[in-house]
Amino acid sequence: MMYERLPDEIKTVLENGVPAELVSCSMDGVPNTTVLSQVYYVDPESVALSFQFFNKTVRNIRENPHACVLLNDVEGYAAWILKLRYDHSETEGPVFEDMDVQIEAIASATGMTGVFKLKAADIYRVESVKKVDFEPAPEG
Amino acid sequence: MASEGAAGNHRGDDSSSGATEVSVLKKISSEINATLDRDELFDTVLRTLDELFGFDHCLILLLDETGESLEVVASRGYPDSALSTKVSLGSGLAGVVAKRRRMVRLGGLSQQRAYVSTIRREMEKTGRSNELGSAPSLPGLADVESQIGIPLMVKDALIGVLLIESAVKRAFSERDETLVSIVANQAASAIKSASLVRELTEAHGRLALLNETLEDRVRERTHELQRTNRELRDTQAQLLQTAKLVSLGDLVAGVAHEINTPLGAIRANADLARRAAVRISAALASAEQASSSQRDSGIPQALGALDEATKTTLVATQRISGIVASLRNFARLDESERKEADLHDGIESTLTLLHHKLDGRIDVLRRYGSLPKIVCYPNRLNQVFMNVLLNAIHAIDDRGTITISTRTEGDHVVIDFADSGRGIPAENLEKIFDPGFTTKGSGVGTGLGLAISYRIVQEHRGFMTAASEPGKGALLTVRVPTTR
């Protein structure tokens, strides 16, 4: 199923730490995949991705603002593919604060304070959303 | 389908779910505000969150007095050991919520932990282990999947954190967050009120206890001060008397020495003169037989007068010697230590020194019994005799008698000083040993004599008593044990 904007049902997926993979690509066509800590629902037309570790992704996005996020929602028997375009980065404001406090809470509970931290909230415009439903595995 | 969270159980369509939630919140509000007992309030908050929303793992943590950490004050769904656990500000979800004063809702925590573990392993592989810390020990579920942490705020001030957890994935929705935040706001105000009531009650209790004990403490302190004051006055009086005695001792020693030297010369001369007169007299008697012409020369009469004079001089010098001996005996300057003494000697020495005050108007009757020598401070007991006898002399206005009786009763030496003076009124009789009590008027008596005497006798493990009938004189009795 295709959407032009983020549907409401994706909120639950984004809020519950579904593993997300971010795919970016350099100008010369070399792709890079990395795992994201957070994909934050900003509004129906944009998401914020947590910028923590990935230097290669930053380089790629500077050259080529197009990116793709894959969410494997095992609980919901579905996968979501978000086509995005980088817009800007925020290091303050409500979106950054919300993401930062969540990451700080996880970091402090796992002994990763000071290491696992948010450098910026990267805001991406949503270009398209695709939901792929899975068939539940037969029981037994 | 994703779950809609625990509160979703109470919702149907939008309009009916809104009505249900309002009704639930009203019920919670009314229950929360029905009590001002803190523990009861905690129980109400946690019970209603469980019963109405199905939140069965909840903790209430309050900021402790240091303001640096939270303490678990109530829990539901956890073992009792969770209670009183401390959580530093910034540690775990509750600590971060308190530090940042922001509500936080977390989901998919097993995924987050797995992600963090991957990063840790990568860092360890690349030699960055030193940057990694260890996970703190925190109250809560070990296999937690979903959490909501809400700061409990009252007028912009943090008082604690409400922490709700679940081991179920996607347990809490955005709507749950909103509902719980409303409950948390109500709970924060109620907890603050209950805490204030508790503080007031405790303060009132402390105040009441203080009031109860205050009177007793004041009374006790007053007694203590009175006792200290009395002891201080006694000590001062004793010091004064000791100083006086030392001065008197110095005086007596000086006088005795000054008198003794010329006295020796006088006595020697008088003796010499008397013997010379005897010899002259004998020579003259022989010559008289040879020459009767000298019979009318008047020399025998002159010699007789010389003899009389020298005899009188000898008697006088013996009298002075007696006074000097008494002075020395009274002060006992060479006997400041405890020693065996005859109390009759002390009484007699004192009487000698008071001879001029007796002045022929007061007769002293001695009814001495047989007294053993006792080990005592003789000079101090002499001071007692002096004080008692001076009081007796002052009590006799014109002529009168002082009767001194001594005897042994059991293991005590008893000395009665009875005078025929004015006597002591009954109301004064029990006060006469109190320091400062006097009937002699300002500038006449210090009121310390009998008090000090009493103390001295006490120090000898004895005691003094007084008896009197107005107009019939007084009887002061000193009792001192014969052995110490």
Q: What is the CATH number of the domain that holds B451?
A: 3.30.565.10
pLDDT for residue B342: 93
**CA B40/CA B60 separation, integer angstroms:** 13
CB-nearest partner of A105 from B104, B132, B134: B104
B146 to A16: CB separation less than 8 angstroms, yes or no: yes
CB contacts under 8 A, A 82-101 vs B, are: 97-98, 101
- Measure in Å the smallest separation between the Cα of B124 and chain A Cα atoms: 13
pLDDT greater than 90 at residue B480: yes
Instruction: Spell out the domain ranges in chain A.
Output: 2-132
Q: Classify residue B282: in a domain, yes or no.
A: no
Q: What is the pLDDT of residues A90-131, one digit of tens each?
A: 999 999 999 999 999 999 988 888 888 898 999 999 999 999
**Residue A110 contacts B where some CB pair is shorter than 8 Å:** yes
Reported as a single tens digit per residue, the pLDDT across B98-128 is 999 999 999 888 888 888 888 888 888 988 8
Statement to judge: residues B47 and B194 lie in one domain: yes
The CATH number assigned to the domain holding B158 equals 3.30.450.40
Which residue in chain A is spatially nearest to B114 when comparing CA positions?
Answer: A19
User: Could you give the CA distance from residue B404 to residue B366 in angstroms, rounded to a whole number?
Assistant: 5
CB B202 within 8 A of CB B44: no
- Domains in chain B: how many in total? 2
Q: Give the number of A-B residue pairs with CB atoms closer than 8 Å.
A: 99
On whether residue B19 sits in a domain, the answer given is: yes
Q: Which CATH number fits domain A2-132: 3.40.50.150, 2.40.340.10, 3.10.50.40, 2.30.110.10?
A: 2.30.110.10
Q: Which of A107, A65, A113 is nearest to A89 (CA)?
A: A65
| Neighbour tally for A67: CB within 10 Å | 22
Task: Evaluate whether residue B304 is within a structural domain.
Answer: no
Which residues does chain A have within 8 Å of residue B146's beta carbon, measured at their own beta carbons? 16
Note whether A12 contacts B: Cβ–Cβ < 8 A: yes
Do the domain assignments include residue B234? no
pTM exceeds 0.80 for this model:
no
pLDDT of residue B442: 44
Is residue B253 helix, strand or coil? helix
How far, CA to CA in Å, does A41 sit from each of A46, B5, B113, B277? 7, 18, 21, 148
Task: Residue B170: give the domain boundaries.
Answer: 2-125+139-198
Give the residue from B4, B14, B97, B116 with the most A CB atoms within 10 Å of its CB, the best one to mutate.
B116
B123, A115: Cβ pair inside 8 Å?
Answer: yes
Q: Of the residues B198, B220, B241, which one is the last residue of a structural domain?
A: B198
B252 within domain boundaries: no
Kindly determine whether residue B102 and residue A112, on different chains, have CB atoms separated by under 8 Å.
no
Facing B112 at nearest CB: one of A13, A53, A106: A106
Tell me the nearest-neighbour CA distance from B193 into chain A, angstroms.
Answer: 30
Asked whether residue B255 is assigned to any structural domain, the reply reads no
Torsion of CA B259, B265, B269, B270, to 10 degrees: 20
> How far apart are the C-alpha atoms of B201 and A74, rounded to whole Å?
55
- The last residue of one of the domains, among B183, B198, B213, is B198
Residue B437 within a domain:
yes
DSSP for B59-99, written as a single string: EEEEE-TTSSEEEEEEEESS-GGGTT-EEETTSHHHHHHHH
- The token pair at B32 is 């929360």
For residue range B252-306, what is the model confidence (pLDDT) as tens digits? 666 776 677 777 878 787 888 888 888 888 887 777 777 655 555 667 777 777 7
